[in-house]
Amino acid sequence: MNQIDIVNIKRASDYIRYLSLESIEKAKSGHPGLPLGCANLGAILYRYILTFSPKDPLWANRDRFVLSAGHGSALLYSLLHLTGYKISLDDLDQFRQKGSRTPGHPEFDRELGIETTTGPLGQGFANSVGMAIEGKILADRFNDEEYNLFDYTIFTLMGDGCMMEGISYEAASLAGHLGLDNIVAIYDSNHISIDGHTDITFNDDVAKRFEAMNWDVASCDIIELDSLYNKLNSFKQKKGQPKLLIVKTIIGDGLDKKKDTSAIHGSPAGPEEIAYFIRNSEVRSLFENKYGADTVENTEELALKVSERAKNREPMLEFPEASDFMIQHIEENQKKYKTWTELLKKYKASHPAKYDELDSILNFTLPEELKKTLTEFKEEKPDATRNIAGRVLNLCAKKIPQIIGGCADLVGSTKAGVNGSTYLNKNDFSGRNIAFGIREHAMGAIGNGLGLNGSLIPFTSTFFTFLDYMKPAVRLAALMKLNHLFIFSHDSIYVGEDGPTHQPIEHLNSLRLIPDLLTFRPANDTETAFSFLYFLEKMNGPAAIITSRQNMAAAVFNRSSNNTSKYKEFCNGAYIFHETNKKLNPDVILAASGSELGIAVEAAFELEKSKQLNVRVVSIPCLELFSAAGQDYKGKIMDSKPAPVVLIEAASHRAVDVFYDPNLLAIDIQSFGLSAPGNAVGEHFGFTVRQVLQKIEDIL
């Protein structure tokens, strides 16, 4: 087998340890244990195994490295610095400081070589599974015997915490089922977590667990550098199964008293420990050249220098021998990159139609024909918005081949599937549906992985009540501004007989609390189509579309003859849906979203008829867009003085009534749901036209 340069690997590894230790010491914050324990692994990966191009960090066929154990970010930043990415020694010096390129946990930035945001343990691993699925899809669509355009591998580094999190079980199970042989997971098995040795809580046989999930498993010791290299290299080439390499490491390797203890997991090593490392490592010569051999030999003096360097933020010491060794791999990779770009040119000439499809996938634009279709969309009769959303999704999927996704075993209920297309399976990745199974948490994170590279537009779907099982992934999609569409059905109490466990009365506003996520709760056919259109037109982050199980009221269907104008209003998040007389000030404003818009409209009709009131009905399909619409627009829609505003929404607005204006009445839900037929549940909570009218009359 190929041999590696052991001497230079050890030198580079110690330099990585030094960079990590000093950057964390200067920040007085961070996690040095993993970078010290996995420095050898990182050096081998980036020097010999990974194929990448810092000159074109978005290269579609690059290998990906995901640090699922994101607390060890200093390792990743040091490696990216040494391999030509735009992370300098000054950036390492600014570790965890405001506005730096080196935050506490890796934050998604492909230009810097950071493939995903990690930190919540297990998420990065599940993202990696999604990235591997993307690789299989691209290979299936565009590779042939002559043109092997996509053959990249996903490498992900997991820790004991990742292994404990339930999301890892879910994601690994699906990866094994699909036979994703383009993913290599590496388990940093150091048996230490924050509270101490893992034997207080974790004694799984990880190898057997993954073997049971159809993974190919091997193990080695971190000090066995040749074995580590050979097994990684072999796993990259091996086909048929996803691979797990269990690497026995020592947390805090290279230190004195803190090595192999929980004390080094999440706190700076301290000057004395760093001095010990310097004296007993390959970086000793750097400090001897800088401060003299006598200073390095004297433990107290060296510790003082370390402390002063951190306090004064003195520049990191350069180590040309280590840097030159690591940078050699870039030259080798550039040859692979050039070969690939030449292959792509030949592909363009020989497969022009396929090349155009690939180009459209890598550079998405919304088809004008689809935009027109969605703008003019209408249904013939009232229906549940889950059914409408399913039809709209398929209109979009016909025109946009990037759309791919699936449900947590609920396609028949949420209607979120691509009709006429198969499920992905280990022998065929040509389909556009993913059978995620009952794995909501992994589904959300795998969907994020599908969306990281920008070549696919993922959708994932389940009952709204199961948002609780995937909320961390929804939050990370928003944090990274991924174009991931979440479709949640069975939106509230009208689920009925399934009872309070399936009636997500608090979930709507919990989604609205997530920054950079748009939450759409459409009330009819046009609003459902508009929700999809807005997401696809803007492509500036995730959106959640919340749909109903029950049919919407007939009063809210086929209401507009000019949907182009209505879409412009919709983009403001709220608009006047109905008004008795536009020339007069309203006597009362009824505002609602989703299914409650029908109640508001029917109540308005009754108030007009029985009380001769001038009633305005406002639909609020997206509260976040309405909040951002500006005071002038909001005033135009909702400025009611002296007329009261009645907000009707079958969701919890718990505790915010403290801040309500006396002129505002909220008809909402303040308790868990009830097991009964949907109409009976609605009546129990006061969501009938008669009950709403009574409350309106009381406030008037």
Residues 73 and 104: beta-carbon distance below 8 Å: yes
Given the structure tokens 């640090």, which residue do they identify? 67
Find out whether the peptide bond into 382 is cis, omega within 30 degrees of 0: no
Is 440 annotated as catalytic? Answer: yes
Q: Which pairing describes strands 645-648 and 154-158: parallel, antiparallel, or unpaired?
A: unpaired
Distance (Å, whole) CA 596 – CA 474: 25
C-alpha angle 465-116-445 in degrees, rounded to nearest 5: 25
CB 129 within 8 A of CB 449: yes
- Tokens representing residue 483 in the block: 């174009």
Q: What angle do CA 41, 44, 49 make, to 5 degrees?
A: 120
CA distance linking residue 555 with residue 262, whole number of Å: 63
154 with 131: CB under 8 angstroms?
Answer: yes
**CA 448/CA 457 separation, integer angstroms:** 10
CA 621 to CA 598: how far, in whole Å?
13
Helix/strand/coil (H/E/C) assignment for every residue in 547-567: CCCCECCHHHCCCCCCHHHHH
Q: DSSP string covering 436-472, please?
A: --S-HHHHHHHHHHHHTTSS-EEEEEEEGGGHHHHHH
CA 350 to chain centre: 37
Task: Return the sign of the alpha-carbon dihedral for residues 84, 89, 95, 99.
Answer: negative
Strands 485-489 and 543-546: parallel
- What element of type H or E holds 575? strand 575-579
Q: Which two tokens stand for residue 612?
A: 């001769």
CA distances 329 to 43, 82, 336, 453, 637, Å, are 11, 10, 11, 23, 61
Which residue out of 107, 282, 440, 596 is catalytically annotated?
Answer: 440
Number of Cβ atoms within 10 Å of the Cβ of 345: 11
Q: How many CB atoms lie within 10 A of CB 689?
A: 17
Q: How many CB atoms lie within 10 A of CB 26?
A: 23
- Reported residue count of the chain is 700
Paired with 489 in beta bridges are 463
In DSSP terms, 300 is beta-bridged to: none
Measured CA angle at 165 (ends 163, 170), to 5 deg: 90
Q: Residue 246 — φ and ψ, nearest 5°?
A: -90, 115
Q: CB 205: neighbour CB atoms within 10 A?
A: 9
Beta-bridge partner residues of 242: none
CA-closest candidate to residue 617, choices 575, 657, 650: 575
Instruction: Please choose, from the candidates 224, 249, 81, the residue with its C-alpha nearest in 3D space to the C-alpha of residue 157.
Output: 249
Q: Would you tell me how many other CB atoms lie within 10 Å of the CB of residue 423?
A: 16
Would you call 117 helix, strand, or coil by DSSP? Answer: coil
Three-state SS for 114?
strand
Per DSSP, the chain holds a count of helices (H) and strands (E) of 29, 18
* Distance of alpha carbon 77 from alpha carbon 23, whole angstroms: 10
H-assigned helices in 60-205: 73-82, 89-93, 123-142, 160-164, 166-178
Q: Which residues are the active-site residues? A: 440
